[in-house]
Chains A and B, each alone.
Chain A
Amino acid sequence: MAIRVKLDHLLLDRRLTLTELADRIGITIANLSVLKTNKAKAVRFSTLEAVCRELNCQPGDLLEWTREEP
């Protein structure tokens, strides 16, 4: 997918684990893992808000657009 979720980078910067973040924002580890591994097809605003709040970042810090090879 052309939109990449940079959750792994942010977690590394904040020295947080996926389990800790899942506990803080009330999302299952399985779902957060789907987000982290770029398998998600859509992200709810509520999820985005919760992640940004806990990681103290902007949505733009979390998402990155890359040009796909044709």
Chain B
Amino acid sequence: MRKASISSVLVILLNVAWYIVALSLVLAIGLAALSAFHDIRGGEIDIPVSFSVDAHALPVRAPSLGIMGAQIEHVRGQLKFSPPTGASLVAPLLVGLAIMLALVLFVLGQMGAVFRTLRDGRPFVPANATRIRWIGFAVIAGELVRAGGIYSTNSFAMTHFSANGLRFDARPDLNLLTIVHGLIILAIAEVFRTGTRLDEDQSLTI
């Protein structure tokens, strides 16, 4: 398969993904707006939680190693429940989802624009450096929003839920690797910007 055709296929895939995410975003915003005015009942919702296991209630031992008092801490899981009143719980979750979808939509749009220039055979344009830079910012912002959302749901579970032998806690769960990926994309954007400048100089050398 030629490079140009790979770019064309990627542009089509990104366009399809963009429309699917855009539709999901519209649905999420619509449902969030609906849930603010109407009590949405029925169904179950999952929220991410973090908890530690009470060492007295569930002692963990390893006799073969001579360990008699180990503890299970900061376990990540999903808490599934049927919300009694939808408006107070569903709306914030949908707003969080909408923010994440908006970021994904933005990244897909920028990537689509980059691949369109690649397909057209003129990738070294200054606009692409700016687009790649914004993708890097969006990756970092997305991770911060995700970590903030998880912290919020953890706090919600810690405040309202209880279980024998479990202690819910709240942690942001920031994925540093994703932040590093975002920083790498930002660095690549700057390298690309320098490259476009050199390409422009080269094309204007007669």
Contact = CB atoms under 8 A, between A and B. Distances in A.
Do these two chains really belong together in a complex? yes
B57 interface: no
A35 B200 CA distance: 15
B199 to A, nearest CB: 11
Contacts of B205: 40-44
Nearest to A36: B206
Interface size class of B (residues with CB under 8 A): under 10
B120 interface: no
Contact of B204 (A27, A32, A34): A34
A47 B201 CA distance: 16
Interface size class of A (residues with CB under 8 A): 10 to 19
A42 B201 CA distance: 8
A41 to B, nearest CB: 4
A62 to B, nearest CB: 12
A31 interface: yes
A53 interface: no
Interface string A26-53: 0100011011000111111001000000
A55 to B, nearest CB: 15
A31 B205 CA distance: 9
Interface in B147-206: 200-201, 204-206
Nearest to A33: B206
Nearest to B204: A41
Nearest to A32: B206
A57 B201 CA distance: 26
A70 B33 CA distance: 56
Contact of A31 (B200, B201, B206): B206
A10 to B, nearest CB: 15
B126 to A, nearest CB: 15
B36 to A, nearest CB: 56
Interface string B53-83: 0000000000000000000000000000000
Interface of B: 200-201, 204-206
Interface of A: 27, 31-32, 34-35, 39-44, 47
18 contacts: A27-B206, A31-B206, A32-B206, A34-B206, A35-B206, A40-B204, A40-B205, A40-B206, A41-B200, A41-B204, A41-B205, A42-B201, A42-B204, A42-B205, A42-B206, A43-B205, A44-B206, A47-B206
Going nearest first, the 6 A-B pairs with the smallest beta carbon separation are A41-B204, A42-B205, A35-B206, A40-B206, A31-B206, A41-B201
